[in-house]
Structures are given as C-alpha cells and as structure tokens.
C-alpha cells in the first residue's frame, strides 16, 4: 500500500497515513472488518490478541508493542486497525521507506496522544538512524534529540506519550536483533484455508451487493492463493465480467471463463507464478537455480520473487529452497503437464 497523507478508517480510528487513495485502496478499505468478529481466519492470532488486549485494558496499560509478519495481503494492516478500534484509540499509519530521517519519526512520535497505536508497514525497511530513535521510544517512551552540531552538540531527552507500536513485515528475519527484541508480541499470519477464503468472498459480496452463487464461490476460493486481498480483487474482476459479458450474476461459468481471460489457473497461479515455475522447470531443468539467475530470467526483482511469488509456491509444494538453489518438485512438473527433464 502506498502511504502518504491522512485518512480516517472506521469509527474512532483516525489514520494518519501517507496514502495515495486510489480505487483499489478505497475498495480494500470498504471491505476491511472493523472488529474481530468480522475478521475471518487466523484463529490463534485473534484469540491471543484478544487476551492481550483485555489484560492491557484491565490494567489500564497500553498493549505491548506487536509485530505481524507474513506474506502480503493476509490482513496485517486490518488487524492493526482492529487493535486500535478495540482500545478506542487512534491509529497512525506510516511505513519504513516513508520515514527518511530521524526527525520524521520524532515528529510523529511527539504528536501521538496517550494510548495511540503507531503502525509501521514494511518495518524491515527502516533506515538505521530512524530505527535507533525507536529503541528508546519503545522502551522508555522517550526520544533522544541531538541539538547542535560538532563538538558542541548535546542530546536532550524528550518524553513521548505511551503508545503501542505495531510493525508489519514480510521479512521478519530482516529485522535487526535490537528491534526484534523490543516487541512483546510476535504474531505470524498464515495463508488461509479455501473455506475461509470462501467466507471472505461471501462477506465481501454481501457488502458490495454482488450476486454470486455457492458453486462459483467455491471455485473462485480455490484460485485466490489463500490470500484475502487476492480474493477481494478477483471478486471485483468477476463482477466486471459478470456485468459486461454476462447477466450480472457470478456463476461457475462466469468464474471459469473469466479466470481463463485473466491467465489464472485452477490452483490460482497467476501469470508470474506460471512463468517462474515454467522457467525453473524448462530452462533450468527443475533446478537448482539461484535467486538472482531466476530473477534475471523472468525479469522480476528478487524481493518480489522472495516475498510474493515463492511463499505461495513453497506452501503449495511446487518448489523448495535448498542450499544449492531453488528446485521444482514433481508436483510442479505435473501441474505444468511436463514430464520431469533428466
């Protein structure tokens, strides 16, 4: 999500963000559940968070700093919004790359209200001087400002309101140890089951007043890479096809035809996934192949391959990461209709 200015999400939750509001984001925001009861799946994470929230509320404390990690589109931002809503406080939203200088973060921290939540998306991309400001802020609710330059420079400690930092990352291992150690709660978000994705599609279709039958929902759910963001995006595309090419209702026929038009296969592999697997199987004989070699071969950047393409392919058993490089499995060869090359 590209984040820039200020937006408001849900009752009682002012979201300060660097937000380029476009159609997709407006659509995503409309579908975001605003409380735990509307949030489907991630049962353990939800249960734990509800216990921690209640405990913090009962003690009159802020929730401990929390980090969510996992592939994109699984609902990390949504959970941060639900947390802030549950505590009836504000959520300030920013991202690692948006915080260029320590002053950017210092200014956000000093403008927080007592009990606010600060959400930093892509927290693994914080620059070190900015990250260092966070250490004392997280631990002591204070920041050390450097006044002046050169030999006469001195530091001044400034208290900031008690707050909860919610970090989100697709790459937990890229967090430095000092930052990782300062989170009280570390929650991993998992890919969703097809049944849960089906429930999300039904819920979203209800909100958007889209007509979709249960057979179509079931087929569509299997093609969403177990990811709510993709489910909501595909639902929208199905609606386009249903309204323009068919009679407005999403049926099995509409889903099958439309997925074909979008180059999405029966297991939800999109064009990039298929290209990645084909390259690994056909050009590199199933591997092992290095990340940089594969990235060059398909013209995709390494971070996209690692964060977006591979987690799902690994989870579905199409490939493995080995010390010698990426390797396709028999399942991948079968899926592509290739007999394994020897």
C-alpha 4/C-alpha 45 separation (Å) is: 29
- Cβ nearer to ligand ADE, comparing 56 with 74: 74
Shortest Cβ distance from residue 162 to ligand ADE (Å)?
A: 29
Active-site amino acid positions: 76-77, 121, 170, 229
- Cβ nearer to ligand ADE, comparing 82 with 277: 82
- Cβ nearer to ligand ADE, comparing 15 with 328: 15
- Cβ nearer to ligand ADE, comparing 33 with 286: 33
Q: How many Cβ atoms from other residues are within 10 Å of residue 32's Cβ?
A: 18
- Cβ nearer to ligand ADE, comparing 106 with 231: 231
What is 246-312 written as a DSSP string? SSS-B-HHHHHHHHHHTT--TT---HHHHHHHHIIIIISTT--B-HHHHHHHHT--HHHIIIIIHHH
Shortest Cβ distance from residue 238 to ligand ADE (Å)?
A: 16
DSSP H or E run through 37: none
Burial-class residue 133 by CB neighbours within 10 Å (0-12, 13-18, 19+): buried
Task: Write b or e for each residue in 49-84: b if 16 or more Cβ atoms lie within 10 A of its Cβ, otherwise e.
Answer: beebbeebeeeeebbebbbbbbbbbbbbbbbbbbbb
CB 166 within 8 A of CB 117: yes
Shortest Cβ distance from residue 168 to ligand ADE (Å)?
A: 13
| C-alpha separations of 187 from 69, 106, 166, 170, 282 in Å | 6, 26, 11, 12, 38
DSSP H or E run through 80: helix 76-86
Shortest Cβ distance from residue 285 to ligand ADE (Å)?
A: 39
Question: Residues interacting with ligand ADE, by CB under 6 A?
Answer: 31-33, 38-41, 75, 78, 200, 203, 228
Shortest Cβ distance from residue 231 to ligand ADE (Å)?
A: 8
């Amino acid at each position: 999500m590209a984040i820039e200015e200020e937006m408001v999400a849900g009752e009682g939750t002012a979201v300060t963000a660097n937000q380029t509001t476009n159609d997709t984001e407006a659509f995503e925001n409309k579908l975001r559940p605003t409380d735990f009861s509307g949030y489907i799946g991630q049962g353990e994470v939800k249960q734990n968070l509800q216990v921690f929230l209640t405990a913090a509320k009962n003690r009159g404390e802020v929730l401990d700093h929390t980090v969510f990690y996992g592939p994109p589109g699984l609902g990390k931002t949504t959970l941060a919004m639900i947390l802030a809503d549950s505590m009836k406080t504000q959520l300030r939203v920013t991202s690692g790359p948006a915080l260029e200088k320590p002053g950017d973060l210092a200014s956000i921290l000093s403008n927080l209200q007592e009990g606010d939540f600060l959400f930093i998306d892509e927290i693994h991309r914080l620059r070190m001087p900015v990250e260092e400001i966070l250490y004392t802020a997280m631990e002591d609710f204070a920041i050390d400002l450097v006044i002046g330059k050169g030999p006469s420079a001195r530091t001044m400690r400034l208290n900031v309101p008690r707050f909860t930092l919610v970090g989100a990352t697709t790459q937990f291992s890229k967090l430095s140890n000092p930052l990782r150690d300062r989170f009280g709660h570390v929650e991993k978000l998992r890919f969703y089951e097809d049944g849960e994705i089906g429930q999300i599609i039904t819920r979203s279709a209800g909100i958007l007043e889209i007509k979709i039958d249960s057979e179509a929902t079931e087929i569509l759910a299997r093609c969403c890479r177990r990811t709510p963001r993709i489910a909501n995006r595909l639902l929208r595309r199905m609606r386009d096809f249903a309204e323009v090419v068919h009679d407005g209702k999403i049926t099995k026929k509409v889903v099958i035809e439309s997925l074909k038009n979008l180059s999405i296969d029966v297991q939800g592999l999109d064009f990039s996934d298929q290209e990645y697997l084909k390259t690994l199987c056909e050009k590199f004989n199933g591997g092992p192949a290095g990340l940089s070699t594969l990235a060059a071969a398909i013209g995709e950047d390494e971070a996209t391959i690692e964060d977006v393409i591979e987690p799902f392919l690994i989870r579905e058993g199409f490939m493995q990461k080995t010390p010698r490089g990426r390797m396709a499995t028999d399942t991948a060869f079968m899926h592509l209709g290739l007999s394994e090359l020897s």
